[in-house]
Amino acid sequence: MIAARDNDRHFTPEEYFSWEEKQLEKHELIDGRVYAMSGGTQNHSAIAINFLLSIRSHLRGSNCNVFNSDLKVNILNTPNYTYPDVSVTCDNRDRENAIYITYPCLIVEVLSDSTEAYDRGKKFEKYRRNPNLIDYVLASSDEVAIDIYHKNDAGEWVILSYREGERVEFQSINLSLPIEQLYEEIIFERQP
């Protein structure tokens, strides 16, 4: 989640890495500018953990790794770095750097009111340039609802929408599970 631009200074990736390790909060680097990451709700955090646990369990023993929002993703061929809620890489090149990955096959963002338009629009526009990315997952934190932007065999992006009672298909990692597993123990606030 991005809150607001932190300052007007332009950073190179090297300056950003050095600067950020001294900060108390996480910051994304987009087009030379740093953006402070805002905190999330209990539902946001719990949904991200449900994704992480389900995917980690499925990938155990494989050459793939799943990461939480503490690990940066470098947007391929750019000086931009983001903190998705969950990322998965099966690419050995991502073992070369300890502080970020560059070749994720799956990225999960848990949506909030303040970031949904950005996550669906400009952020996806940046992510989809990566030829390794197959599934870009957007999970609602207000209802049982998941949209997956999936790159098919023809290289076209299609939207797969899942709701209550359906099985979610993560084709990038060959995982199918009931959507309720990803929303386990989530209590939604009643709308007025």
State the total domains in the chain. Answer: 1
**Distance from C-alpha of 15 to C-alpha of 187, rounded to nearest angstrom:** 41
- Domain-embedded: residue 112: yes
- Domain-embedded: residue 137: yes
**pLDDT tens-digit map of 13-27:** 999 999 998 988 889
**pLDDT tens-digit map of 144-166:** 999 999 999 999 999 999 999 99
Nearest to 113 by CA among 187, 41, 30, 35: 41
CA within 13 Å, CB half, 155: 3
- Domain-embedded: residue 27: no
- Domain-embedded: residue 24: no
Q: Is 172 within 8 Å of 106 (Cβ atoms)?
A: yes
**pLDDT tens-digit map of 67-93:** 999 999 999 999 999 999 999 999 999
Give kind and range of the element (H or E) at residue 142: none
pTM (predicted TM-score): 0.91
Q: What angle do CA 126, 127, 130 make, to 5 degrees?
A: 110
**Distance from C-alpha of 112 to C-alpha of 102, rounded to nearest angstrom:** 25
**pLDDT band for position 191 (50/70/90)?**
low
- Domain-embedded: residue 119: yes
CATH number at residue 116: 3.90.1570.10
N- to C-terminal Cα separation, the chain? 25
Domain of 101, in residue numbers: 40-182
